[in-house]
């Protein structure tokens, strides 16, 4: 029994060691409504399999990440921009780069998932 408990504990700790380091500040660009690039920034904080953090809304106000979940190098979260339905983001972290895909759901008029946005870690 002791060996079993040790093995399970070791696997848990090893799994945490191989999870990506998402904590910190990240920046990228998206196409604005006027067609020009618009800078975006996020602050992420991992706590086990839970993700929290902030970004800025279109009016410059702070927006808290909702429903943040981490699974290894993959993570997801939602943002409520006040348009009636939160937008969901599915992400993959690769070193100092995050590939972030926004799922518009019903709000996108059937557009579904948009092309990915690339975020870079702020040093």
Question: Any idea what the CATH number is for the domain that residue 72 is in?
Answer: 2.40.128.120
Give mean pLDDT, residues 69-76.
97
The CB density around residue 59, as the number of other CB atoms within 10 Å, is 8
Length of the chain (residues): 123
* 7 occurs within a structural domain: no
Tell me how far the alpha carbon of residue 33 is from its chain's centroid: 22
* 64 occurs within a structural domain: yes
Are the CB atoms for 30 and 40 separated by under 8 Å?
yes
Q: What is the pLDDT of residue 4?
A: 39
Q: What is the pLDDT of residue 16?
A: 42
The Cα 58–Cα 121 span in angstroms is 21
* 90 occurs within a structural domain: yes
Which helix (H) or strand (E) covers residue 79, if one does?
Answer: strand 74-79
* 16 occurs within a structural domain: no
Where residue 69 falls among pLDDT bands split at 50, 70, 90? very high
pTM attached to this predicted model: 0.75
Q: Which domain holds residue 79?
A: 21-121
The Cα 72–Cα 82 span in angstroms is 30
* 2 occurs within a structural domain: no
* 9 occurs within a structural domain: no
* 96 occurs within a structural domain: yes
* 29 occurs within a structural domain: yes
Q: What is the pLDDT of residue 59?
A: 84
Q: How many domains does the chain contain in total?
A: 1
């Amino acid at each position: 029994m002791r060996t079993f408990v040790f093995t399970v504990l070791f696997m848990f700790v090893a799994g945490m060691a191989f999870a990506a380091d998402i904590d910190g500040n990240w920046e990228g660009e998206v196409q604005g409504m006027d067609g020009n690039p618009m800078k975006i920034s996020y602050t992420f904080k991992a706590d086990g399999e839970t993700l929290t953090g902030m970004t800025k809304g279109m009016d410059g106000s702070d927006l808290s990440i909702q429903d943040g979940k981490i699974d290894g190098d993959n993570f997801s979260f939602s943002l409520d921009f006040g348009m009636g339905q939160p937008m969901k983001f599915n992400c993959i972290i690769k070193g100092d780069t995050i590939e972030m895909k926004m799922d518009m759901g019903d709000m996108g008029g059937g557009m579904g998932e948009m092309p990915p946005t690339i975020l870079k870690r702020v040093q």
